[in-house]
């Protein structure tokens, strides 16, 4: 890849977005969280209002949850803002209000996953950490002629590695933003503007007239994919289960599971509710395909002390087989 050319293109052509004209990690974090699932145009007025009202992470940490929810009303996906507030308080309490500048610290904060941590590290701190979002997946898949199914996590990780090798040869803060901008404005999902693209001369899809072939995304039909963190929780000598109340599999027992990005979100939540987590360890990821859904269950073993949640049911390990349990969880090995 001609990275110099890509970076020169970015310097000359990028949109002057308020959250791109800064290396303030707090601003970059706020914008990246807002941009998840939301268009730039919708984010801009919210972003401007929010950083005016909460100009620092310290100010944000003092916000009342209900007031803050109102501040972001209309953007949707509120869990991300709940996490944002929680993370701001951790930054104030554990980092004296100074935004963490190490990847390993960022990734532990609620709501910050690999992509967001990579974006903050590269844009704010100019450190070479890949930030692979949907736009970058599209650009790289076309550029490389990558014919792996990009719905598959393992394949995304392969592309992420490739992105990592490129960013290591680049100016990280320019490279990450250039790839994002290229994906948003030039290498669009439909009708990419290849004639304006700095990567055109080496782009596999362009040279082979196959821009509509990449990225390769298997048809999910109506299947929706969920990523859960699923917990095998021990309390005293028993295992915690939960009886489902959701319409899918209602009344069946399951291991408690949460649709969150990181285990630390759950640990914090439990600790906040007076449940002490004395141990947790990643075990294995299981996949289960239902007619209309796919569950990716990232299973952790966990030991808790003090008490359990009200909707958890305690049961001896040997008796689990006596309870009705969805096959998706039945196949998980204790």
Q: If phi over 0 gives left and psi between -120 and 50 gives alpha, with beta otherwise, what is residue 266?
A: alpha
CA dihedral sign, ordered 28, 33, 39, 41: negative
Q: Which of 7, 11, 21, 32 is catalytic?
A: 32
Distance in Å, CB of 182 to ligand SF4, minimum = 7
Nearer to ligand SF4, 144 or 249 (CB): 144
CA 86 to chain centre: 16
Q: Return phi, psi of residue 279, to 5°.
A: -165, 140
Distance in Å, CB of 207 to ligand SF4, minimum = 8
Tell whether residue 178 is a contact of ligand SF4 (CB under 6 A): no
d(CA 83, CA 111): 5
d(CA 6, CA 83): 34
Tell whether residue 187 is a contact of ligand SF4 (CB under 6 A): yes
Of positions 43, 85, 109, 139, contacts ligand SF4 by CB under 6 A: 139
Triad 150, 177, 157: Cα angle to 5°: 25
Distance in Å, CB of 126 to ligand SF4, minimum = 24
Distance in Å, CB of 145 to ligand SF4, minimum = 10
CA dihedral sign, ordered 180, 46, 109, 314: negative
Distance in Å, CB of 202 to ligand SF4, minimum = 9
d(CA 272, CA 289): 33
d(CA 176, CA 119): 7
Of positions 125, 143, 255, 300, contacts ligand SF4 by CB under 6 A: 143
Nearer to ligand SF4, 13 or 101 (CB): 13
The candidate with the shortest Cα–Cα distance to 252, out of 153, 324, 302, 158, is: 324
Distance in Å, CB of 114 to ligand SF4, minimum = 23
Structure tokens at 218: 């298997």
Tell whether residue 232 is a contact of ligand SF4 (CB under 6 A): no
Binding mask 285-304 toward ligand SF4 (x if CB under 6 A, else -) reads --------------------
Binding mask 191-210 toward ligand SF4 (x if CB under 6 A, else -) reads -x-x--x-xx--x-xx----
Name the CA dihedral angle for 5, 9, 12, 13, rounded to a multiple of 10 degrees.
180
- Do the Cβ atoms of 278 and 303 come closer than 8 Å? yes
- Do the Cβ atoms of 87 and 95 come closer than 8 Å? no
**Cβ neighbours, 10 Å, residue 15:** 10
Distances (CA, A) of 293 to 285, 288, 289, 296: 16, 8, 6, 10
Nearer to ligand SF4, 61 or 146 (CB): 146
Of positions 186, 232, 252, 328, contacts ligand SF4 by CB under 6 A: 186
Structure tokens at 82: 């709940």
- Window contacting ligand SF4 (CB under 6 A); options: 32-40, 97-105, 155-163, 190-198: 190-198
Residues of this chain, 210-229, that bind ligand SF4 according to CB under 6 A: 211
Nearer to ligand SF4, 41 or 209 (CB): 209
Told to judge if 181 belongs to the known catalytic residues of this protein, a careful annotator would answer no
Nearer to ligand SF4, 201 or 311 (CB): 201
**Binding-site size, ligand SF4 (CB under 6 A):** 14
Nearer to ligand SF4, 156 or 188 (CB): 188
Which residues sit at the interface with ligand SF4, rule CB under 6 A?
139, 142-143, 186-187, 192, 194, 197, 199-200, 203, 205-206, 211
Q: What are the residue numbers of the active site? A: 32
């Amino acid at each position: 890849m001609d990275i110099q050319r890509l970076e020169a293109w970015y310097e000359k052509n990028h949109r002057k977005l308020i959250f791109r004209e800064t290396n303030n990690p707090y601003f970059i974090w706020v914008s990246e969280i807002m941009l998840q699932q939301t268009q730039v145009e919708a984010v801009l007025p919210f972003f401007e209002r929010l950083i005016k009202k909460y100009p620092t992470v310290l100010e944000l940490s003092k916000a009342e949850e209900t007031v803050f929810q109102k501040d972001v009303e209309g953007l949707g996906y509120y869990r991300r803002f709940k996490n944002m507030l929680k993370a701001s308080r951790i930054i104030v309490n554990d980092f004296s209000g100074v935004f963490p500048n190490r990847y390993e610290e960022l990734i532990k904060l609620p709501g910050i996953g690999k992509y967001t941590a990579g974006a903050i590290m590269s844009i704010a701190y100019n450190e070479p950490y890949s930030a692979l979002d949907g736009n970058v997946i599209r650009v790289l898949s076309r550029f490389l002629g990558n014919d792996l199914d990009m719905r598959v996590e393992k394949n995304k990780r392969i592309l992420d590695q490739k992105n990592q090798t490129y960013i290591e040869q680049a100016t990280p803060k320019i490279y990450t933003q250039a790839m994002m901008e290229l994906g948003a404005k030039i290498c669009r999902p439909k009708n990419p503007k290849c004639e304006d693209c700095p990567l055109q001369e080496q782009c596999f899809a362009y040279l082979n007239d196959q821009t509509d072939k990449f990225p390769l995304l298997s048809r999910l039909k109506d299947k929706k994919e969920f990523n859960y963190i699923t917990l095998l929780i021990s309390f005293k000598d028993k295992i915690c289960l939960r009886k489902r109340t959701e319409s899918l599999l209602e009344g069946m027992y399951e291991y408690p599971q949460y649709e969150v990005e990181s285990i630390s979100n759950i640990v914090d939540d439990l600790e906040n509710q007076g449940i002490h987590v004395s141990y947790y360890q990643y075990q294995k990821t299981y996949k289960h395909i239902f007619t209309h859904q796919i569950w990716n269950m990232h299973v952790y073993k966990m030991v808790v002390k003090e008490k359990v949640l009200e909707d958890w049911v305690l049961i001896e390990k040997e008796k689990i087989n006596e309870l009705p349990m969805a096959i998706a969880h039945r196949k998980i090995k204790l």
